[in-house]
Amino acid sequence: MKILSLSASVFLDPHLGSGKTRLHWTNGLKELGHEVDILQPADVEWWPGLKIGRRYRLALGTFLKARKLINKSRYDLIEFYGDEYWLLLWWLKKIKKSAPLLVAHVDGLELYDKEKERRFWAKPAGIKKMLSRFNENLSAMNFRLADKFVCGCDDELKYVTKENLFEADNAACVSPGIDDEYHQLPFTEEKIKNIIFFGSWISRKGVRIIPEVITPILNKHPDFCFEVLGAWSSREIILSEFHESLHPRIKIYNKLPVEKLIDKLCHSSIFFFPTYSEGFGLATLEAMSCSIAVVTTPTGIGCNLKNNIQAKICGFNQVGEMYNAIDNLISDEALRTRMAFNGHCFAKKFTWKRQVMLLEEKYQQWLS
């Protein structure tokens, strides 16, 4: 296959979640013998120093750059990550009319994310509401112009078929993998008494309710600590949301090197991730591979996990449910160990080699 891969909104940086994932897909397809050309922000963004209108500048820049490549080369398939391609897709479908197969390959479906944003953490008003609706219409057009759809979790697959964006035969779930170093880890039972949150301290991750859950947990279990990984810039904000008496038991770390992150996760007791919206949730799967019991929500990989078997799956904003889940795992060590082991086994299925071959198989099936 000759493929053009468009990643206009995310820099392909192996240290960033989405960037690393997209590099694995494209490099994996290359290793299987396919020719893959890639466009990323540095290749297409007009006036990158500007702080406004980025999505429109990306749309125009991608259209102009990709059009040259498409007119020059004969691609079998164009895959695109994100929703900034409506101008290019419209040209391919309405003007050129001899387009390659167009595949929306998402690692977080923007339309679904916006719906959950309004429901859970930020409801725009006034001119922001009008602009948001306009952008959502462009986003919907972006996906309706695609021929096929690939996502990373069953939750988004159900959403696009329910909303009639794609028919079931034109949509597939092919989850990403986790890096090889996570697959080499044996199951570890020896734990320290702590609860881990890993990621940016932002509204989408459900951080507003974390103090409501963790405060009574720390009060009931004075030998436990709460640790936040990767949110050092939010240290003062995080501490301000807890009573001063708990501050000595709240530890906030900067971004750790991979080996130290893995060591921290392998020896921790509970991974708490009350997120509202995930395209997949690599952090959760990586934590599970490190033998840690998970408490999360039904989004991303959380929708693929068996509740009370591979993880504790709690409803969004269900503070009492989340408190009970963590409390049960602290009080019942056998339960915590059993759930961590089941999660550990589940995570081992997701090797990059296997997942890339599944994507290749789906692309070739659609092309045939």
Q: Are residues 197 and 114 in the same domain?
A: no
- Tell me what pLDDT residue 152 has: 94
Are residue 151 and residue 96 in the same domain, yes or no?
yes
167 shares its domain with 201: no
Which domain covers residue 54, as residue numbers? Answer: 2-177+351-367
Q: How many residues can be counted in the chain?
A: 368
50 shares its domain with 198: no
Judgement on whether residues 358 and 216 belong to the same structural domain of the protein: no
Q: Which CATH number fits the domain that encloses residue 121?
A: 3.40.50.2000
Who contacts 338 (Cβ-Cβ below 8 Å, separation ≥6)?
Answer: none
Same domain, 133 and 228: no
- The whole-model pTM stands at 0.93
Same domain (yes/no): 130, 196 = no
Report the greatest alpha carbon distance in the chain. 67
286 and 305 belong to one structural domain? yes
**Shared-domain flag, residues 199 and 336:** yes
> What pLDDT digit, counting tens, does each position of 155-173 carry?
999 999 999 999 999 999 9
The whole-number pLDDT of residue 209 equals: 97
Give yes or no: residues 238 and 265 share one domain. yes
At 3, the amino acid letter reads: I
Same structural domain for residues 261 and 194? yes
pLDDT(331) > 80: yes
What is the band of 212 on the pLDDT scale with cuts at 50, 70, 90? very high
Same domain (yes/no): 236, 309: yes
CA-based nearest residue to 216, from 315, 318, 320, 297? 320
- Looking at residues 252-274, what average pLDDT do you find? 94
DSSP string, 318-361: -HHHHHHHHHHHHH-HHHHHHHHHHHHHHHTT-BHHHHHHHHHH
Determine the average pLDDT of the residues in 30-41.
Answer: 96
Total domains in the chain come to 2
Ramachandran class of 224: left when φ > 0, alpha when ψ lies in -120 to 50, beta otherwise: beta
CA dihedral over 141, 86, 282, 205, signed as positive or negative: negative
> Which of the four pLDDT bands, split at 50, 70 and 90, describes residue 239?
very high
